[in-house]
Amino acid sequence: MKLHKKILLGSLLCTALVSCSNDKDTSSSNNLQSLAALKSVPLADIPKGFNGTQMCKDVYAPGTDPRGAVIRSTKWPNGSVITVGLYGGSTKVRNKVMQYAKEWSNHANITFNFVTTGTPQIRVTFTQGAGSYSYLGTQALNIPSNEETMNFGWFNDNTSDAEFSRTVIHEFGHALGMIHEHQHPLTSIPWDKNKVYTYYAGYPNYWSKSDVDNNLFAKYSTTQTQYSAYDTQSIMHYSVSSDLTTNGFSVGNNTVLSATDKQFIASVYPF
């Protein structure tokens, strides 16, 4: 996958090193032979410090302004059946991805149809060390058919259900056009900016001041987004350490859809 324009967003609490399984069983190989070959993300394209960390990366189609890549312009037609291909991973990992991706369909008029032939609209790879990411909504349709549109970079057969739930639901939320909740138009996280700049200047991010400004402090405007009330419990919210805020404000690792997530996605894709 080409690094067109990536804003790398990491969990503010979780930077633990992880390992990924290279297990690709026989059934997986047989299925993949009927799908078009994909270009896996080159290891050289993984920014310094991001290999081996549990990071979600924002990715944008070529020529897209990140502040314009929002849910209004990336929504799928209501009632869409979106085809998804899984390229790699063990049987258990693939089954867990299918299981948790479908959580969205319980609350939205949208269906993820997992296929093993043809050219799926969403193409999921399991490149270890490359982090987890997804193009926003219908931007996936503009990506060359031999490139992935989503990746899970740390799953293996020992991954917990809570981690599968947290990451899969989050990335498929992006695939439906949802933004990161900490960039919600109405958010007012009391960041201690000097501490944030210092923290992200070190391992594993090595971000400049402008990187931090763009990745953490920038917000979408109310005119760009279809949005609900700011929700600290949202599956789309990354954890926020109390060490990086001025008044002890923090957000933990959300692992399931919140009540607001369910109401919001039902309003975006109503039955």
- Quick: pLDDT tens for 192-218: 999 989 987 876 567 788 877 876 787
C-alpha torsion sign, points 77, 110, 258, 251? negative
pLDDT at site 19: 25
Tokens for 252?
Answer: 């933990």
Report, in angstroms and rounded to the nearest whole number, the Rg of the chain calculated over CA atoms.
Answer: 18
Decide if pLDDT at 5 tops 50: no
Decide if pLDDT at 15 tops 50: no
Gap between the Cα atoms of 35 and 146, Å rounded: 10
Tokens for 32?
Answer: 């993949």
Decide if pLDDT at 89 tops 80: yes
Q: Give the CA angle between residues 176, 133, 59 to the nearest 5°.
A: 85
Q: How confident is the model at residue 137 (pLDDT cuts 50, 70, 90)?
A: very high
Omega within 30 of 0 (cis) for the link into 144: no
pLDDT at site 246: 92
Instruction: For residues 88-92, give the mean pLDDT.
Output: 94
Instruction: For residues 69-92, give the mean pLDDT.
Output: 87
Instruction: For residues 110-123, give the mean pLDDT.
Output: 95
Task: Say which range, 37-41, 49-53, 105-109, 117-121, has the weakest mean pLDDT.
Answer: 49-53
Decide if pLDDT at 9 tops 70: no
Q: How confident is the model at residue 128 (pLDDT cuts 50, 70, 90)?
A: confident
pLDDT at site 82: 98
Task: Say which range, 8-22, 154-168, 172-186, 223-237, has the weakest mean pLDDT.
Answer: 8-22
What one-character-per-residue DSSP string does 111-164 give? EEEEESSB--SEEEE--TTS-EEEE-GGGGGGS-TTB-SEE-SS--TT--HHHH
* Residue 40: other Cβ atoms inside 10 A: 17
> Over the chain, what is the mean pLDDT?
75
Decide if pLDDT at 28 tops 50: no
